[in-house]
């Protein structure tokens, strides 16, 4: 029989092919435990953070910022904690690599905001990187904190006197939440300290380069 | 594609009004694209207003060109092509006009809601829930009209364009409904989003565009279809293989490795349907390259861009390439080659071919048609080539974490300038297009012909 001259048969076969691919690439992952189990330190969004997430969505932030550290060495280093930053905040000179993003970090995201394009940097590990004032200045006037950036100024999130509206405060709260479903900063620093101590004890400088905590 | 024994009088009302609507929305939404390109150089351009900020108008641009222009234009062309391939009148012109009215309501409501920031925030699925339902209703109405016409056909044999069109109607309906179900969260939501997003290109705009090209290439060149066998292979392989590829948007991301690998394998296998279709198009175009008018130019360059974009796609999915180009501006360059360079070119050729036959008068100016082609062609090349070079360089810089992100942004600056100028050419071309069509519809000639 020629399917191409029987409209009903053609449509049925096309639907069957579609169902096959959809089952394996969509339904199977939907039912997988790995993709639906929260990480150990994952917490749901607070009301304020959730409000901030909605601002992030309606302002279309996800069109220019991804929220996924890909499983590539360059990205775990780029989006990790640089040596200067770690020293300033934790008093130890170490590059703490950001862990690649894990499915369990996203279970409270509805909708997801993984994004596909980086006109600006990835934000999956940005929570805790800057203080709230930095973020507010950045939203009010991006080029004051990041010269050369072409991010728009979100002036409508501030009142006439330049004071942040509730929306801006919520947005910052959401941004600060990003990446905190893994305690990677704390654990990374702890590990770096242990390595430094072990190093001091043994006098061997080579111990350091292990497991995401890389002394430079 | 034999002509029917008794000449049927086609009314073509739905066809032509869908085309006019599509062109009007194209002008609006491609201009928004230009505004976005300007904002990369002058971030304060039209600044300070939420409704005009990049994050809001980006969704208007993508949804507008996809659903307002390309899908609407193809629907108009389908209302023209299907009755002729079936040797029957369109099932219902009245239903077609109601569909159009609903489509316009949807488009206008989409612009307003998206500008207000009312969005589902999932790429290409941004429209809010009640608009999703209206789109579904409109699509069912379109499906009834097309399947109704096919059911009344007077030829037993169905031409390849009809298979693709029936496939498109089914794929679109399932993708749209399943993709919009409000039940997903986390990485599964991302996976479903890209199951939809990638197949929106592969199983809505690709088969629709291919269906139209399969009709207009033989018609406008006067050559018979090169190979029936190739068209069968092309159709069934795309139906089997495309649906598996969505996860290639999240390679190295937080989804299981097996899912990434499956997506890569099927992405590479897409070379089969693409190359069979391309071989068929080139075979049908043979001997007509040099003497081609702007209609053949659009079809020929559209075919070349289809070949190139579908060579890029499988290559991007390979892990070694993906780690450099993914998330960079290379990708918008690639996406515009598919949607603008290939399928919009097919649709433009279709409108230039169909409209004079509907209105029974020639296109107002063939010279303007040529200008439309060259502006679109050169503009598109400038747009995409600049993004490919810049995006690739930025991707390489991202591989070195000692280069700050802001420095990699500065690398893009000259390429963004070229892209902005190229976008201006693309918009200019479409202004010529709209003007030419407007004059054709309103020309003095018309009154003569009708008198």
- ipTM of the complex as predicted: 0.93
Kindly report the nearest CA distance between residue B195 and chain A, in angstroms: 7
SS3 B298: helix
Which residues make beta-bridge pairs with A81?
A96
Note the residue count of chain B. 451
| Pairing verdict, β A95-96 and A213-214 | antiparallel
pLDDT band of residue A6 (cuts 50, 70, 90) is confident
Facing A14 at nearest CB: one of B56, B167, B246: B167
Which residues make beta-bridge pairs with A210?
A213
Facing B195 at nearest CB: one of A10, A25, A58: A25
Residue B340 DSSP one-character state:
I
How many angstroms separate the CA atoms of A100 and B393, rounded? 23
Higher pLDDT, residue B444 or B152? B152
Facing B166 at nearest CB: one of A10, A29, A113: A10
How do residues B46-71 score in pLDDT, each as one tens digit? Answer: 988 999 999 999 999 999 999 999 99
Phi/psi at A60 (nearest 5 deg)? 70, 30
B-proximal residues of A, 71-110, CB under 8 Å = 71-72, 74-75, 77-78, 100-103, 105-110
> Would the CB atoms of A59 and B253 count as touching at under 8 Å?
no
Report CA Rg, chain A: 23
Q: Of A91, A121, A106, A72, whose CA–CA distance to A180 is shortest?
A: A106
pLDDT band of residue A211 (cuts 50, 70, 90) is very low
Residue % of chain B over a pLDDT of 90: 94
How do residues B220-246 score in pLDDT, each as one tens digit? Answer: 999 999 999 999 999 999 999 999 999
- Residue B81: pLDDT above 80? yes
> Would the CB atoms of B185 and A112 count as touching at under 8 Å?
yes
- Residue B292: pLDDT above 90? no
How do residues A73-114 score in pLDDT, each as one tens digit? Answer: 999 999 999 998 899 888 899 999 999 999 999 999 999 999
> Would the CB atoms of A150 and B259 count as touching at under 8 Å?
no
How many angstroms separate the CA atoms of B338 and B66, rounded? 11
- Residue B448: pLDDT above 50? no
How do residues A113-151 score in pLDDT, each as one tens digit? Answer: 999 999 999 999 999 999 999 999 999 999 999 999 999
Q: Of B29-33, B45-49, B93-97, B98-102, give the lowest mean pLDDT range.
A: B45-49
Query: Other CB atoms closer than 10 Å to residue B289's CB: what's the count?
Result: 12
Nearest CA in chain B to A19: B243
* pLDDT score for B148: 96
For all residues of chain B together, what is the average pLDDT?
A: 94
H or E stretch including B163?
A: helix B160-180
* pLDDT score for B22: 98
The owner of tokens 């795309």 is B238
How do residues B316-335 score in pLDDT, each as one tens digit? Answer: 999 999 999 999 999 999 99
DSSP chain A: --GGG-HHHHHHHHHHHHHHHHIIIIIHHHH-STTTSPPTT--PPPHHHHHHHHHHHHTTGGGT------S-HHHHHHTSB-HHHHHHHHS---EEPPPPP-GGGSTT-SS----S--SS---TT-TTTS-HHHHHHHHH-HHHHSTT--PPP-GGGB-TTSPBPHHHHHHHHHHHHTTTTS-HHHHHHHHHHHHHHHHHHHT-GGGGSBTTEE--
- Residue B5: pLDDT above 90? no
Kindly report the nearest CA distance between residue B301 and chain A, in angstroms: 28
The owner of tokens 């029917």 is B4
A-proximal residues of B, 273-302, CB under 8 Å = none
CB distance from A24 to chain B under 8 Å?
yes
Q: Which residues of B touch A159 (CB under 8 A)?
A: none
> Would the CB atoms of B185 and A35 count as touching at under 8 Å?
no
A-proximal residues of B, 306-325, CB under 8 Å = 323
Facing A4 at nearest CB: one of B39, B232, B323: B232
B-proximal residues of A, 115-154, CB under 8 Å = 116-121, 142-143, 146-154
Stretch B181-205: mean pLDDT, rounded? 95
Nearest CA in chain A to B160: A4
Q: Is the dihedral of CA A85, A88, A93, A94 positive or negative?
A: negative
How many angstroms separate the CA atoms of A79 and A95, rounded? 10
> Would the CB atoms of A25 and B243 count as touching at under 8 Å?
yes
How many angstroms separate the CA atoms of B222 and B216, rounded? 10
Facing A4 at nearest CB: one of B163, B190, B242: B163
Residue B156 DSSP one-character state:
S
Q: Exposed/middle/buried for A128, CB within 10 Å: 0-12, 13-18, 19+?
A: middle
Catalogue the long-range contacts made by B282-290 (C-beta closer than 8 Å, 24 or more residues apart). Answer: B282/B226, B283/B226, B283/B227, B283/B230, B284/B217, B284/B218, B284/B221, B284/B223, B284/B224, B284/B225, B284/B226, B285/B217, B285/B221, B285/B223, B286/B223, B286/B226, B287/B223, B288/B221, B288/B222, B288/B223
Phi/psi at A35 (nearest 5 deg)? -85, -10
Phi/psi at A200 (nearest 5 deg)? -60, -40
A-proximal residues of B, 183-242, CB under 8 Å = 184-193, 195, 203, 232, 235, 239-242
Do residues B383 and B300 lie in contact, with contact meaning Cβ atoms separated by under 8 Å?
no
Best mutation site among B238, B327, B333, B411 for testing chain A: the one with the most A CBs within 10 Å?
A: B327
Stretch B351-380: mean pLDDT, rounded? 96
Kindly report the nearest CA distance between residue B407 and chain A, in angstroms: 8
* pLDDT score for B2: 52
Alpha-carbon separation of residue B237 from A18, B244, B343 (angstroms): 12, 12, 20
* pLDDT score for B380: 98
CB distance from B158 to chain A under 8 Å?
yes
Phi/psi at A148 (nearest 5 deg)? 95, -10
CB pairs under 8 A between A and B: 236
* pLDDT score for A205: 53
Do residues A82 and B144 lie in contact, with contact meaning Cβ atoms separated by under 8 Å?
no
* pLDDT score for B156: 85
CB distance from B398 to chain A under 8 Å?
yes
CB distance from B54 to chain A under 8 Å?
yes
How do residues B367-394 score in pLDDT, each as one tens digit? Answer: 999 999 999 999 999 999 999 999 999 9
* pLDDT score for B446: 52
């Amino acid at each position: 029989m020629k399917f191409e001259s029987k409209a009903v048969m053609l449509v049925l076969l096309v639907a069957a092919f579609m169902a096959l691919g959809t089952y394996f690439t969509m339904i199977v992952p939907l039912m997988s435990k790995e993709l639906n189990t929260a990480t150990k330190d994952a917490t749901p969004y607070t009301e304020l953070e959730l409000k901030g997430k909605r601002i992030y969505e309606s302002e279309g932030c996800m069109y220019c910022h991804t929220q996924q550290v890909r499983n590539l060495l360059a990205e775990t280093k780029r989006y990790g904690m640089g040596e200067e930053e770690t020293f300033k905040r934790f008093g130890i000179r170490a590059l703490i690599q950001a862990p690649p993003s894990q499915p369990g970090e996203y279970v409270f995201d509805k909708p997801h905001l993984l994004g596909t394009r980086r006109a600006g940097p990835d934000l999956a590990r940005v929570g805790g990187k800057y203080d709230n004032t930095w973020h507010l200045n950045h939203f009010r006037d991006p080029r004051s904190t990041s010269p050369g950036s072409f991010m728009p100024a979100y002036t409508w999130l501030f009142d006439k006197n330049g004071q942040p509206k509730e929306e801006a405060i919520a947005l910052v709260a959401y941004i600060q939440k990003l990446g905190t479903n893994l305690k990677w900063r704390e654990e990374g620093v702890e590990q770096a300290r242990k390595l430094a101590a072990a190093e001091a004890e043994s006098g061997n400088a080579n111990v350091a380069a292990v497991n995401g905590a890389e002394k430079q | 594609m034999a002509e029917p024994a008794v000449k049927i009088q086609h009314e073509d009302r739905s066809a032509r009004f869908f085309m006019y609507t599509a062109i009007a929305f194209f002008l609006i939404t491609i201009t928004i694209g230009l505004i976005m390109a300007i904002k990369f150089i002058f971030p304060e351009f039209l600044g300070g207003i939420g409704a005009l900020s990049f994050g809001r108008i980006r969704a208007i641009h993508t949804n507008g060109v996809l659903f307002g222009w390309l899908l609407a234009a193809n629907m108009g062309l389908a209302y023209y092509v299907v009755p002729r391939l079936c040797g029957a009148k369109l099932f219902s012109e009245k239903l077609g006009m109601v569909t159009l009215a609903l489509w316009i309501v949807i488009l206008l409501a989409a612009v307003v809601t998206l500008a207000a920031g009312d969005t589902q925030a999932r790429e290409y699925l941004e429209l809010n829930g009640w608009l999703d339902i209206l789109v579904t209703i409109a699509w069912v109405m379109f499906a009834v009209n097309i399947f109704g016409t096919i059911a009344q056909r007077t030829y037993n044999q169905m031409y390849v364009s009809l298979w693709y069109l029936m496939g498109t109607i089914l794929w679109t309906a399932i993708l749209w409904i399943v993709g919009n179900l409000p039940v997903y969260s986390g990485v599964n939501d991302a996976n479903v989003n890209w199951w939809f997003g990638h197949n929106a290109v592969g199983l809505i705009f690709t088969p629709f565009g291919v269906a139209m090209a399969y009709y207009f290439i033989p018609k406008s060149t006067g050559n018979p279809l090169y190979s029936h066998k190739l068209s069968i292979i092309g159709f069934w392989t795309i139906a089997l293989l495309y649906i598996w590829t969505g996860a290639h948007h999240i390679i190295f991301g937080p989804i299981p490795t097996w899912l990434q690998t499956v997506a890569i394998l099927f992405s590479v296998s897409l070379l089969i349907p693409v190359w069979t279709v391309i071989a068929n198009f080139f075979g049908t175009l043979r001997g007509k390259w040099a003497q081609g008018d702007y209609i053949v130019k659009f079809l020929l360059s559209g075919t070349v861009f289809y070949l190139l974009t579908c060579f890029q796609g499988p290559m991007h999915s390979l892990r070694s390439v993906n780690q450099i180009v993914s998330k960079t501006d290379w990708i918008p360059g690639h996406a515009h080659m598919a949607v603008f360079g290939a399928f919009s070119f097919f649709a433009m050729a279709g409108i230039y071919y169909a409209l004079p036959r509907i209105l029974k008068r020639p296109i107002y100016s063939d010279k303007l048609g040529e200008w439309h082609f060259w502006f679109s062609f050169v503009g598109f090349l400038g747009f995409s080539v600049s993004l490919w070079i810049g995006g690739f360089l930025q991707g390489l810089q991202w591989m070195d974490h000692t280069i700050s992100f802001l420095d990699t942004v500065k690398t893009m600056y000259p390429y963004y300038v070229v892209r902005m100028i190229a976008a201006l050419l693309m918009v200019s071309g479409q202004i010529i297009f709209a003007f030419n069509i407007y004059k054709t519809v309103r020309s003095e000639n018309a009154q003569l012909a009708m008198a």
